C-alpha cells in the first residue's frame, strides 16, 4: 500500500514558543508518537512557563531542550546544529510574534531561534497570538515575508475564543490541519522537493460530502460519502497557496479539518447548486468531489408518512436531482478547469470506460473515476485509488494511496493541465 504521508519512522522536531496555544502542543506530540514518529522538542523560556518541559520529555520519550542546554561542555557539536541536522521536519507549534520576528530577521538568539535558522528540512509554522498582535502591521509584514520562503509552510491562525476572552483571529489552527501539513511535507520530501506555494493566486471552488434529500419528516435519501476526499483536496490546495471555497453537505469527519477554508454548509442538491452558482465565477479551478444524491422527492413533506402510504407512493413521487456538473460545465468561463469525480464499481477496465463516458457527457476537463466496491478504500475510508481521465484518451493510473496523497497528485495534474 502506497502511504507516503505516514509519519511513522520520521524524525520530527517540535518547536514550542511563548503563546498560550503552547498548552495544545503536548497533545500534538502524543499524537505524533502514537503515529510512529520519532519526536524531539525544543522550547523557549517563555513557553516553558506555559507548558512543562517535563511533560514534553515524557510524551516524546526524548529530552526537551531549553536555552540552558545549548552550550554544554560535554557536547561534541553545537546543539542547534545537531537538532537541525537530525530533523526530517520541523513543526513550530505555536509561533509567537516574538519568535516570528526573530526568524524573519535572522536573529539567532536562543536555542530555538538558532535551530530554525540552521534547519535545512521543511518547516511548518502555525501562528498563534492575540488578535490585536496578529493584525499589527509589523507582524503582518513579518508573516508576509515568511510566506515567501519556499522552505516554510505557513498556517495562519483561525477565528475563535482567545485566552484574553476576545473572539477573533489568533487561535492556533487545529491539530488536524497541522498534521495534514506535516503529512503533505513528507509527500513532497519523498520526491526530494519542498511543498511550495505553486497554487498562489489561484482560486479553487470545491464541493464535498453527500447531499441529503428529505422524503418526509423521518426519512431521507443520501449516500455513504463522508466528505473526506473533497475536504483534503481543498486543504491540500490551501497548503499550496490557493484561496479555497468549500461547499459541503452533511459531512461525517472532524469539523476541525475545515479550519482555514472558506466553508459553506448546505443540505440538499438545490442548496448546493445555488451556493456553487454564487461562487463559480470567482474560481479558476472547480473540483466537484461531492457525492450528490441521485434522487429526490418531488414534493417533500415535513410530516411522517405511514409505512403503507409510503410504500404505495414512493416511486410515483421520485425524480432525478439536478446534474450539477453538466449544468456548470455548459456555462463555464474561459480558462476555467473542471475536475469531476465518478464513484464506480467493477474491474479496472469497466471503471475507466464508465468514467470516460461520464467525463465526455458531463463536459469535464478531467475526471477521477474511483472504485467503491473494494475493501479499505472509497466512501468513508482514508484510502483511494482510480484513474484520472482527460482529453486525448488520457487515463493515468492512481494506485492505492491515502486520500491526501491522491489530492496532491490531482493538484499536480491540474497544474500540468493549466500549462
pLDDT in single tens digits along all 419 residues of the chain: 445 457 999 999 999 999 999 999 999 999 999 999 999 999 999 999 999 999 999 999 999 999 999 998 888 899 999 999 999 999 999 999 999 999 999 999 999 999 999 999 999 999 999 999 999 999 999 999 999 999 999 999 988 777 777 787 889 999 999 999 999 999 999 999 999 999 999 999 999 999 999 888 888 888 889 999 999 999 999 999 999 999 999 999 999 999 999 999 999 999 999 999 999 999 999 999 999 988 888 877 788 878 777 777 676 778 888 889 998 998 988 889 999 999 999 999 999 999 999 999 999 999 999 999 999 898 889 999 999 999 998 999 999 999 999 999 999 999 988 76
280 is in an annotated binding site: no
Q: Examine the domain organization and report whether 130 and 268 are in the same domain.
A: no
| Pairing, β 152-155 against β 158-161 | unpaired
Q: Examine the domain organization and report whether 218 and 327 are in the same domain.
A: yes
CA dist 51 and 48 (Å) reads: 5
Q: Examine the domain organization and report whether 408 and 277 are in the same domain.
A: yes
**Which one of 147, 164, 189 terminates a domain?**
189
All residues at 6 or more sequence positions from 139 whose CB lies less than 8 Å from its CB, including other chains:
97, 100, 101, 129, 133
194 is in an annotated binding site: no
- Domain annotation covers residue 1: no
Exactly one of 41, 64, 164, 364 is catalytic; name it: 164
Q: Examine the domain organization and report whether 152 and 227 are in the same domain.
A: no
End-to-end CA distance of the chain: 31
238 is in an annotated binding site: no
Q: Examine the domain organization and report whether 85 and 185 are in the same domain.
A: yes
Q: Examine the domain organization and report whether 230 and 314 are in the same domain.
A: yes
Q: Examine the domain organization and report whether 177 and 218 are in the same domain.
A: no
Please report, for the domain that includes residue 30, its CATH number: 3.40.50.1950
**Which one of 189, 216, 244 terminates a domain?**
189
Contact 158, 259 (CB under 8 A): yes
Q: Examine the domain organization and report whether 315 and 406 are in the same domain.
A: yes
Question: Helices 175-189 and 228-239 meet at what angle, rounded to 10?
Answer: 70
**Which one of 189, 224, 257 terminates a domain?**
189
13 is in an annotated binding site: no
Q: Examine the domain organization and report whether 151 and 31 are in the same domain.
A: yes
304 is in an annotated binding site: no
Q: Examine the domain organization and report whether 68 and 128 are in the same domain.
A: yes
- Please tell me whether the peptide bond between 117 and the residue prior to it is cis, using omega within 30 degrees of 0: no
Q: How many domains does the chain have?
A: 2
Cell of 401: 494511496
325 is in an annotated binding site: yes
Instruction: State yes or no: is 41 an active-site residue.
Output: no
Q: Examine the domain organization and report whether 94 and 19 are in the same domain.
A: yes
Q: Examine the domain organization and report whether 165 and 95 are in the same domain.
A: yes
Parent domain of 254 = 203-418
- The model carries a pTM of 0.94
Amino acid at each position: 500500500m502506497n502511504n507516503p504521508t505516514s509519519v511513522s519512522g520520521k524524525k520530527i522536531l517540535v518547536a514550542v514558543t511563548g503563546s498560550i496555544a503552547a498548552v495544545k502542543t503536548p497533545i500534538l506530540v502524543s499524537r505524533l508518537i502514537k503515529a510512529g514518529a520519532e519526536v524531539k522538542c525544543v522550547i523557549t523560556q517563555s513557553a516553558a512557563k506555559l507548558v512543562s518541559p517535563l511533560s514534553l520529555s515524557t510524551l516524546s520519550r526524548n529530552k526537551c531542550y531549553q536555552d540552558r542546554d545549548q552550550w554544554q561542555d560535554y557536547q561534541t557539536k553545537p546543539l542547534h546544529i545537531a537538532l537541525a541536522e537530525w530533523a526530517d521536519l520541523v513543526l513550530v507549534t505555536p509561533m509567537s510574534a516574538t519568535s516570528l520576528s526573530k526568524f524573519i530577521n535572522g536573529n539567532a538568539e536562543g536555542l530555538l531561534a538558532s535551530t530554525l535558522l540552521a534547519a535545512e528540512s521543511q518547516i511548518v509554522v502555525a501562528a498563534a497570538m492575540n488578535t490585536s498582535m496578529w493584525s499589527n502591521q509589523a507582524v503582518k509584514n513579518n508573516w508576509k515575508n515568511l510566506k515567501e520562503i519556499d522552505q516554510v509552510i505557513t498556517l495562519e491562525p483561525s477565528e475563535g475564543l482567545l485566552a484574553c476572552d476576545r473572539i477573533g483571529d489568533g487561535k492556533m489552527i487545529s491539530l488536524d490541519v497541522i498534521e495534514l501539513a506535516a503529512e503533505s511535507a513528507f509527500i513532497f520530501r519523498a520526491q526530494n522537493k519542498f511543498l511550495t506555494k505553486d497554487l498562489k493566486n489561484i482560486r479553487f471552488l470545491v464541493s464535498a460530502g453527500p447531499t441529503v434529500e428529505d422524503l418526509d419528516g423521518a426519512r431521507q435519501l443520501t449516500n455513504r460519502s463522508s466528505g473526506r476526499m473533497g475536504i483534503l483536496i481543498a486543504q491540500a490546495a490551501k497548503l499550496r497557496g490557493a484561496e479555497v471555497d468549500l461547499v459541503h453537505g452533511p459531512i461525517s469527519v472532524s469539523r476541525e479539518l475545515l479550519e482555514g477554508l472558506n466553508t459553506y454548509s448546505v443540505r440538499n442538491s438545490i442548496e448546493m447548486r445555488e451556493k456553487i452558482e454564487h461562487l463559480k465565477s470567482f474560481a479558476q479551478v472547480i473540483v466537484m468531489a461531492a457525492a450528490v444524491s441521485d434522487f429526490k422527492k418531488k414534493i417533500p413533506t415535513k410530516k411522517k408518512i405511514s409505512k403503507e402510504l409510503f410504500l404505495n407512493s414512493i416511486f410515483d413521487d421520485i425524480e432525478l436531482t439536478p446534474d450539477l456538473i453538466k449544468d456548470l460545465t455548459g456555462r463555464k468561463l474561459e480558462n476555467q478547469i473542471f475536475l469531476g469525480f465518478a464513484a464506480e464499481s467493477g474491474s479496472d477496465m469497466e471503471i475507466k470506460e464508465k468514467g470516460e463516458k461520464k467525463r465526455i457527457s458531463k463536459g469535464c476537463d478531467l475526471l477521477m473515476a474511483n472504485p467503491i466496491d473494494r475493501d479499505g478504500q472509497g466512501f468513508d475510508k482514508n484510502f483511494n485509488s482510480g484513474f484520472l481521465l482527460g482529453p486525448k484518451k488520457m487515463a493515468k493510473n492512481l494506485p492505492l494511496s491515502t486520500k491526501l496523497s491522491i489530492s496532491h497528485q490531482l493538484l499536480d495534474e491540474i497544474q500540468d493541465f493549466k500549462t
